[in-house]
Structure 1
Amino acid sequence: MKQGNIKVALVGNPNAGKSTLFNALTGMRQKTGNFPGVTVEKKSGTFRIASANGHDDSHVTLVDLPGTYSIYPKSRDEVVVMDILANPKHPDFPDVVVIVADASNLQRNLLLFTEINDLGIPSVLALNMLDVAESMNLTVNAVQLAMQLHVPVVRINARTGEGIKSLKEAVKQITERTEKPVLQYFYEPKENEIGLINEVREIHQLDNDYVALQYVCQHDNFSFLEQPVRAKLDALIEKYGFDENNFLANETVARYEKIKPIVSKAVKSEGAIEPPYWTRKLDSILLHRVWGYVTFAIVLLIVFQAIFAWASYPMDMIDAGTAAAIEWVKGALPEGVLNDLLTDGIMAGIGGIIIFIPQIAILFALVAILEESGYMARVMVIMDKLMRRFGLNGRSVVPLISGVACAVPAIMTTRSISSRYERLLTILVTPLMSCSARLPIYAILIAVVVPETKVLGIFNVQGLVLFGLYLLGLLGALGSAWLLSLFIPRKEPSYFMLEMPSYKLPRWGHVGYTMYESVKSFVLEAGKVIMAISIILWVLASYGPGDNMNVAEQQVVASMNAAPQAQIDAAVASARLESSYAGQFGRFIEPVIKPIGYDWKIGIALLASFAAREVFVGTMATIYSISGDTEDVLTVKQRLIQEKNPETGGQMFTPAVCYSLLIFYVFAMMCMSTIAVVYRETHGWKWPMIQLAYLTVLAYVSAFVVYQVLS
């Protein structure tokens, strides 16, 4: 057996069970990162193969390559496949390729197998979903298939783990080979291609005709080729008059001509080939032009109820636990800067990170269940036609829906969108969906200006306004997607190709691992940025220029020496905040926000709510010296109603100001957590900054129009 580390690449069509097999082989021995040189997420893991004759077990590194129907890429992720398989010097170049094939649709799956086989890399064909094939009255003879393909063929069930041991044995046998196997090409080059192939092989010292053809067809995608080399290949293409489109069409036809008799010998039908009975019955409802949308609405209702209801309990526990821990640390450590930094900065920042964990875990668990069951594919199909009008596609539905709970996990779900262009558009507009953190803001502002009356004796006016805000967010998301699609260049064709999977029970281990990976990714990646910004905000609110904060405190204490201590403490907190750097910033931005009706106090709340939208209410309570329970909405409501505009002497929070604030928060960037996760998902600061800029401009202009019209 090959000594040292064995590298195995896992490839396959989407929905062939590749990810499930990856989890079955590696278990918890996984890690994520990026493929070298590209911003495409990479999943890798390890497993061991037992050796004979008492030798040490072989250590295998398994790399899960992006799912693809062919080695010719249709999306940015798929480019990675050939960028690795055509370059032996790549750090992830495999010793063995395991091709996962859906046995219920073998002819189409074998197209990818024959392409990889012709690259000359040792391969194993893993036949998955044999139970689905049997339900379709199909019997697949793995031995017959292996004899015709001249490679090991293993029957597996990735969901149950059946055949995993045999698959490891097949990989072991290939790595133990001492002689180089005779390669059976499934595509024979045409006469007019031979001259071009020979010249490319000689220049690049290649020993494989099909790899040489890939240099010709895909050299622009190969990151390991320098621009002068690509230019020489372009010159060779022109010299031989090579027509790439004609070649691709002829190659595909030639491959299927060879695949068809192979499949006819190895696959026997015992009756009419049709989807399972329950698949047909459920599809007649779930894909119906009316009942499909009704069912989807019911599923959404259940998902939202689960996210809001189930997540609230652990979130409250985390919030209470964090508050208790902060209080304990405050009392245990001596008063001073270190105490404040640790409690109000670092621990508060950690609390702002971990409080999202229940929502992320529950949402990703529900999404994983819907995907594993096969239902999510049906949702994407029925919604694709609507989404496409706005530059998106059917896969954009899940993130937009999830954004109503929280933008952070919603943006993370965009990973299922194969098109980089449509994924980017979805990421850029998802924050426009009103999240649960905006509810406290909506609730208090609506309570200030909207009467508690009913329309038609049924509908509460305040509830209708709240519904209108959520609807406005959805319309804003779709409209922004359409507008952005006019400016962001599309570098790849728009298509929505999805294989309809059969219905099946979720694999609970996979669901659990999805939850674990999602939470870990958020805490370790986005959490670092959130922590840094939390500390910065604490510094800005805790310190001020010179001794301004101490002077302000002394003036308040002197002027209120006869007042109750609770009122003095609240007034001191307000005065210190006004004199802090954050307060100075509020004064600094006041000329900018004054045209939309805001003063410096609201400016500070806008700044503070950037950490988390729900902070707005607490910040306003502190600024306006609310005594007692500062989070009580009724108390804050009364104080906002009583607040006077120092310039006019009238009410500060007029309908114009309140509606302006409501519109601002509908369109403004959600919070720093959202920016952090966008940074992680786009692998840079370019798009988070563009997103922040366009949403801020949209929010400001909309708020300005509303304020000027209603004033």
Structure 2
Amino acid sequence: MDIKVALVGNPNTGKSTLFNRLTGLNQKIGNFPGITVDKKTGFSRLDSHKEAEIIDLPGTYSLYPKSKDESIVFQVLADKKNSSHPDVIVLVTDSSNLKRNMLLYSQVADLGIPMVLALNMVDVAAKQGIEVNVDRLAEKLGIQVVSISARNNIGIDQLKQAIANTNKIATQNLEVDVNFLAPAAINAIKRHINADNDYYALQVLHQHEHLTFFSDQQQEEIEEIEQSHGFESAKVQAAETIARYKHLSTILSDVVVDKGTAKKFSFSDKLDGILTHKIWGFAIFLLILFIIFNAIFAWSSYPMDLIESTFGWLTALGHEHLPAGMLTDLLLDGVIAGLGGIFVFIPQIAILFAFISILEDTGYMARVTFMMDKIMSKVGLNGKSVVPMIGGLACAVPSIMAARNIENWKDRMITIMVTPLISCSARLPVYILIISLIVPQETVFGIFSKQGLALMIMYLVGVVAAVAVAWVMKVIIKTKERSYFIMELPIYRMPRWKNVLFTMYEKSKTFVFEAGKVIIAISIILWVMASFGPGNRFEKIDQKYATALADTTQNTTHIETLVATEKLENSYVGILGHFIEPAIRPLGYDWKIGIGLITSFAAREAFVGTMATIYSVDGGDEDSATIRERMAASVNNKTGLPVYTFATGISLMLFYAFAMQCMSTVAIVYRETKGWKWPVIQLVYMTAMAYVAALVAYQLLR
């Protein structure tokens, strides 16, 4: 790349929207080197001659970090050896709240890295009666200033041109002379680390404990300088902030004209009075949830049926035209069956994330966080815990990582421990499969789907369980730290439909390729284990039914099904299933479900692929029958009753609602807590909850 550009800005300034606008689909997500914090990078063509690598740094209100994510910003900007250190910074601001945003600008400007100032949301500012004299502001700051609206694609080409034309030598005017704040300490640090920038030296004094590019010896030497000069970080930071706001007042006094202060937030305030009401707010939230889960069933039924019938047709076509043999069976009953178990749930995944994207885009999700703070504080959490818990609807792994933003150790640990109880997208295929077997396709009052209502209840069960466990842990875990919750509510906006479609595409792709790899691998292993058995068991079964199969007067299809079933029970997977069956029989499960529980520890959604493979190998009257049809028709050989009764279905869904069946989640909890103590506790308590809940449900309902 010709140039490396970092996007820096406060939360809710549209930085991520600008990142998507600049990079399109040409982006990737990884981790910053040595740190488990998301690093979003992408590539953008600035003009016909120059390309740029764009890095989206975590949002922060200042260079003084309050979380691990925020500490990344200064580390990247301060360390020239960091792979993400930029040639140019684009400081993204909210034009409707410029003074607050400019505090971060003034800090970053003093680091001496070339900058471009992007005044985002100019359309919002105009509606609120705010006018910014861009030329006057550029003249005062000594840099290029560009008015943009990332949502509406306004000014993006001008911003690209400004980035391309930026001199690699910093031109901005220094904002505040910070040397007066602690001259002796700053000068000592400058000499010690061979730096010539006063503000860089001051930040080293403030943040050296978080700066990984200093060795242990350097850390000790900096600490000695700090103590020997009586450096008081909190007092110096407060004095600096006051000085910067005074300076910004003089800069913005004749640059920003606010003609609409009185009515600026009138619409948002009126809407918030309803949507965050202590009673109606929660009622509206529950209604929205019900609409979402109802839509997941109602809107996805046709594409699901189409996908299922397509894979059934492919399997039947393969058995009809491909030569009989092991490779054909592996392809059709292993790979194709596993793929069918993945693709059939893409419609629901896409619909769920479309709604989540809309709620986030409109600003409503921030209101949910605000509403939940009062409840969370009573059970040992705070409003910031809602962000990871809502994120848990997608996946617990990034949600647990997001708990780093919670400053209080106790709140953070409780959040990490309960977030996996929130039903993630990996549980969605399991819920949908079981609900479709035990809940009829009927409506209540001719509008609401019973299946949608059942799905909503399963999600609420996870939320209630998380709150209950959090309350218990609040009593058990002791700490003297006090927690607090401060958050900015963004204004309401129309969702960006292109962004919604992009989110649907990205999440569906992630499900197919990430979960798909696990499911396909498990499907192939299961097919091998289900197609072979120890000793000569399969030969004895063939001999047992050889006469019956040779008799053309009998129904050979039925006999072939009996052969396939008996071979499956005597295969390696059948032996394993029968071994664990006594432990799960009180829950209403047979040995086939037991195999699904085992494979689910790799990934919860693997249960669906496992059932698809096992029931494909098990044989049937019709090769084209879907997995749901085969499971619905399955009968317990001992009782003669259907395997998937209402009691068994409820028991199984409760088991999946509470069980920690995800190796990735265990791994991330280990990494975040830096030890095996908490992941082991989490695995034990969640498995115990799952077993007891499933046992009680089955015994009461059977």
TM-score range, shorter chain: 0.7 to 0.9
Aligned counterpart, 2:59: 67
How far apart, in 2, do the equivalents of 1:221 and 1:67 lie? 17
1:582 aligns with 2:573: yes
Q: Is the 8 A contact 2:5 2:53 kept in 1?
A: yes
CA-CA distance at 1:94 after TM superposition: 0.5
1:253 aligns with 2:246: no
1:419 aligns with 2:405: yes
> 1:57 deviation in Å?
0.6
Deviations 1:100-125 (A, max 9, x none): 11111111101111111111111111
Once the two structures are TM-superposed, the CA of residue 176 in structure 1 deviates from its matched residue by: 6.0
**Further displaced range: 671-680 or 136-145:** 671-680
The question of whether the paired residues in 2 share the 8 Å contact of 1:379 and 1:394 is answered with no
Q: Which letter does structure 1 place at the counterpart of 2:143?
A: V
Return closer, same or farther for 1:390/1:638 CA change in 2, 3 Å cut-off.
Answer: same
Deviations 1:309-341 (A, max 9, x none): 222322222222223233334444332222222
1:7 deviates by 0.7
Of 334, 337, 341 in structure 2, the residue corresponding to residue 352 of structure 1 is 341
Shift of 1:292: 1.9
Task: Structure 1: state its 5+ residue gaps.
Answer: 51-55, 646-650
2:13 aligned with 1:16: yes
Give me the whole-angstrom Cα distance separating, in 1, the residues matched to 2:52 and 2:644.
Answer: 67
SS at match of 1:668: helix
Cα distance, 1:393 vs. partner?
A: 5.0
Rate the CA distance shift 1:27–1:709 in 2: closer, same or farther, 3 A: closer
Distance 1:165 1:35 in 2: 29
| Number of aligned residue pairs | 680
Measured in 2, the distance between the counterparts of 1:570 and 1:680 equals: 44
Aligned alpha-carbon RMSD (Å): 4.3
Instruction: Give 1:371 shift.
Output: 1.9
**Conserved 8 A contact 1:432-1:667:** no
Contact 1:399 1:430 in 2 (8 A): no
| 2:31 equivalent in structure 1 | 34
Give the whole-Å Cα distance in 1 for the aligned partners of 2:318 and 2:661.
25
Structure 2: segments with no counterpart, 5+ residues: 407-411
SS in 1 for 2:82: coil
CA shift, 1:665, in A, is 3.5
Deviation at 1:382, TM superposition (A): 1.6
Partner of 2:95: 103
Deviations 1:391-431 (A, max 9, x none): 5555766886797xxx6568777887773747745642223
Question: Do structure 1's residue 666 and structure 2's residue 654 form an aligned pair?
Answer: yes
- Cα distance in 1 between the residues matched to 2:70 and 2:291: 35
Corresponding residue for 2:176? 186
8 Å CA contact 1:612, 1:670 repeated in 2: no
Matching of residue 529 in structure 1 with residue 518 in structure 2: yes
Alignment match of 2:197 (pick from 208, 215, 230): 208
Task: State the alpha-carbon separation in 2 of the partners of residues 238 and 343 from structure 1.
Answer: 71
Provide the C-alpha distance between the structure 1 equivalents of 2:141 and 2:190, rounded to a whole number of angstroms: 26
Identify if the C-alpha distance between structure 1 residues 633 and 525 changes in structure 2 by more than 3 Å, giving closer, same or farther: closer
Please name the residue that 1:700 is paired with.
691
Superposed displacement of residue 666, structure 1? 0.4
Q: Identity of aligned pairs, percent?
A: 42
1:331-342 equivalent positions in 2, closer than 5 A: 331-342=320-331
Report the more deviating stretch, 587-596 or 104-113. Answer: 587-596
Q: Does 1:564 align with 2:555?
A: yes
Corresponding residue for residue 648 of structure 1: none
Q: What's the secondary structure of 1:126's corresponding residue?
A: strand
Find the residue that maps to 2:209 and give its secondary structure.
Answer: coil
Cα gap change, 1:596/1:577 in structure 2, threshold over 3 Å: closer, same or farther?
Answer: same
Classify 1:472/1:518 alpha carbon distance in 2 versus 1 (closer, same or farther; 3 Å).
Answer: closer
Whole-angstrom CA distance in 1 between matches of 2:617 and 2:333: 17
Question: Offset of 1:624 from its aligned partner?
Answer: 10
Q: Which amino acid aligns with 1:570?
A: T
Partner in structure 2 of residue 315 of structure 1 = 304
- Higher alpha-carbon deviation: 18-27 or 332-341: 332-341
Which of 208, 215, 221 is the matching residue for 1:226?
A: 215
Q: Which amino acid aligns with 2:430?
A: A
Post-superposition offset of 1:501: 1.9
Secondary structure class of the residue paired with 1:175: coil
Shift of the 475–663 alpha-carbon distance from structure 1 to 2, 3 Å rule, reads: farther
Instruction: State how far apart, in whole Å, the 1-side matches of 2:81 and 2:631 are.
Output: 67
Residue 43 of structure 1 and its aligned partner are, at CA, apart by 1.6
Q: Post-superposition shift, 1:98?
A: 0.5
Cα pair 2:30 2:40 within 8 Å, conserved: yes
- Is 1:361 matched with 2:354? no
Pick from 433, 438, 441 the counterpart of residue 431 of structure 2.
438
**More displaced, 696-705 or 390-399?**
390-399
Residue 384 (structure 1) aligned to one of 373, 376, 379? 373
Q: Using a 3 Å threshold, how does the CA distance of structure 1 residues 162 and 493 change in structure 2: closer, same or farther?
A: farther
Instruction: From the superposition, tell whether residues 677 and 37 of structure 1 become closer, same or farther in structure 2 (CA, over 3 Å).
Output: same
Residues 1:462 and 1:77: Cα distance change in structure 2 (over 3 Å): closer
Amino acid at match of 1:151: I
Residues 1:489 and 1:47: Cα distance change in structure 2 (over 3 Å): farther
1:515 pairs with 2:504? yes
Contact 1:441 1:617 in 2 (8 A): no
Counterpart for residue 288 of structure 2: 299
CA shift digits 1:177-228 (9 cap, x unpaired): 5xx547514252336x222222222222222111112222222222222223
Q: Secondary structure at the match of 1:377?
A: helix
Tell me: CA distance 1:316–1:278, structure 2 relative to 1, closer, same or farther (3 Å).
same
1:83 to 75, 86, 94: 75
- Cα distance between partner residues in 1 of 2:525 and 2:467: 34
Q: Secondary structure at the match of 1:190?
A: helix
Aligned AA for 1:269? Answer: D
Instruction: Give 1:60 deviation, angstroms.
Output: 1.1
Please give the alpha-carbon distance, in whole angstroms, between the structure 2 residues aligned to 1:323 and 1:469. Answer: 29
For the Cα contact (< 8 Å) 1:363–1:409, is it kept in 2?
no
- Residue number in structure 2 paired with 1:148: 140
Change (3 A) 1:402 1:124: closer
Matched residue SS, 1:24: helix
Q: Give the C-alpha shift of residue 631 in structure 1.
A: 6.5
Query: How far does the alpha carbon of each residue in 1:257-277 deviate from its partner, in whole angstroms, 9 at most, with x for none?
Result: 222232222112225344354
463 and 334 in structure 1: CA distance in 2 versus 1, 3 angstrom threshold? closer
TM-score (norm 2): 0.83
Change (3 A) 1:113 1:586: same
Q: Contact 2:354–2:500 (CA<8 Å) still a contact in 1?
A: yes
How many angstroms does 1:613 deviate by? 4.7
Q: Alpha-carbon deviations, 1:362-399, whole Å to 9, x = none? A: 22222222222222222222223223444555576688
Is 1:172 aligned to 2:164, yes or no?
Answer: yes
Matched to 1:111, the amino acid is L
Shift of 1:600: 4.4
TM alignment of 1:673-692, pairs within 5 A: none
For 2:130, the equivalent position in structure 1 comes to 138
Deviation string, structure 1 residues 455-488 (Cα, Å, up to 9, x no partner): xxxx999999998766544422322344567789
Equivalent residue number for residue 233 of structure 2: 244
Secondary structure (helix, strand or coil) at the match of 1:265 reads: coil
Letter paired with 2:639 = K
The 8 Å contact of residues 540 and 580 in structure 1, kept in 2 or not, is answered as yes
- Please give the alpha-carbon distance, in whole angstroms, between the structure 2 residues aligned to 1:546 and 1:250: 81
Deviation digits for residues 494-521 of structure 1 (CA, Å, limit 9, x no counterpart): 5544322222222222222222222233
Q: How far apart, in 1, do the equivalents of 2:88 and 2:330 lie? A: 53
Contact 1:85 1:93 in 2 (8 A): yes
More deviation, 525-534/611-620: 611-620
In the alignment, which of 295, 302, 315 is matched to residue 326 of structure 1? 315
Q: Normalising to structure 1: TM-score of the pair?
A: 0.82
